[in-house]
Structure 1
Amino acid sequence: MSARADDWLVPDWPAPAGVRACVTTRSGGVSVAPFDRFNLGDHVGDEPTAVAWNRRYLQQTLGCRPVWMSQVHSSVAIEAEPGICAVADASWSDRPGEACAVLTADCLPVLFCDRAGTRVAAAHAGWRGLAGGVLEAT
């Protein structure tokens, strides 16, 4: 089974031309039960090769490189660094071709960009992070 990008959610927003975003769904992917479908989380006990395949598919489909964080419900915001999975709940980048990735279940993804579209950010906004100022830190 493969992921189906046609059911991912794409915002209809007034962002600058070079800024794109999407929210994936759980359909498709190669993870097996109980992680069925398109699991992107490497911290839940899923088979690492399945998560790696799902993440590669995401990168190929989007045409950019997602930069992942190890999210802990904090107010820490960092510069996204490819190949480094830093402990934080928000990241920003000013490098074209990079995507600030955030994983959510019952929390909210909050996406930012500057008016020129030269800097983007994503925050993992749960109640602890919101109360602690994750949006302000981002």
Structure 2
Amino acid sequence: MNSEADLIVPDWPAPDCVWAMSTTRSGGFSLPPWDSFNLGGHVGDDPAHVEKNRLRLAELTHLPRSDFRFMDQVHGTDIEEFPGPERVQADGCVTSQARVPCLVMTADCLPVLFCNRDGNRVAAAHAGWRGLCQGVLECAVARFDDPASVMAWLGPAIGPRQFEVGAEVRERFVERDPEAARAFVPGQSRGRFLADLYQLARQRLQTAGVTQISGGYWCTFSDADRFFSYRRDGVSGRMASLIFIDPSR
């Protein structure tokens, strides 16, 4: 195993019964280029190494491995109620049941974790630019009774100085919300823009009624020692961001 797991624990005002974290690339069993804590089973890594990493994740959370569901993420807006089937195609999950982990995997896309003020409902969403533009975060917030009671944490994603996109991406966001233009600045190439996923997510969440928003200050692309990045490396592992309710805490 490659060193101890380097875990990111959210600094946010969640209730004590809510347990959340993001993994990094350290602390697992995979070999390069997936070294070492790769949790993605669809990226070409040895399946035996992936399963050892998933078992390690279960140990870190003190939850049974059988309770974990790793969704097939498709850059859409579907939010699945957990516990659910063994295999599900969705880009978010939500639960009110204790000790049921909601988990998304990323390697540049934005993971967003949610809980309500009472700590009796949690969710996780995978927000690449497509899902973010189509409303995956709004769909997650809609699965709570009161958006004003929801708090969100923005996990590790590609930063605003590295995420260059075409003009058509900017146009799609601005068509939905003119304020989105503030999250884009001209890139180095003509007709290209640097996009701030964190700012776009904050705008969408605030419009949906969420005012308590934390996190959002990493760059997976720039920190190769700590994070996987698909855009940087092409062949890359996947990190997990997860959240669950633990009444014993």
* TM-score of the pair, normalised by structure 1: 0.92
Q: What residue number does 2:61 align with?
A: 62
Q: What residue number does 1:20 align with?
A: 19
- Give the partner amino acid of 1:72: V
Number of positions where the alignment pairs a residue of Structure 1 with one of Structure 2: 137
Structure-1 separation of matches of 2:2 and 2:61: 15
Return the structure number with greater relative CO, CA threshold 8 A, min gap 6: 2
Pairwise CA distance, 1:62 = 1.0
Deviations 1:7-49 (A, max 9, x none): 2111111001110111111012111122120000011011111
- Give the partner amino acid of 2:31: V
Point out the structure with the larger strand share.
2
Structure-2 separation of matches of 1:3 and 1:113: 31
* Pair 124,3 (structure 1): closer, same or farther in 2 beyond 3 Å: farther
Structure-1 separation of matches of 2:97 and 2:83: 10
* Pair 58,97 (structure 1): closer, same or farther in 2 beyond 3 Å: same
From 115, 120, 135, the equivalent of 1:133 is 135
- Give the partner amino acid of 1:59: A
Q: What residue number does 2:156 align with?
A: none
Structure-2 separation of matches of 1:3 and 1:90: 30
Point out the structure with the larger helix share.
2
* TM-score of the pair, normalised by structure 2: 0.52
Structure-2 separation of matches of 1:24 and 1:60: 13
Q: Which runs of at least 4 in structure 1 moved beyond 6 Å after TM superposition?
A: none
Rg larger for: 2
RMSD (Å) for aligned C-alpha atoms: 1.5
Structure-to-structure mapping, 1:1-138, within 5 angstroms: 1-2=1-2, 4-5=4-5, 7-64=6-63, 65-81=67-83, 84-138=86-140
Structure 1: state its 5+ residue gaps: none
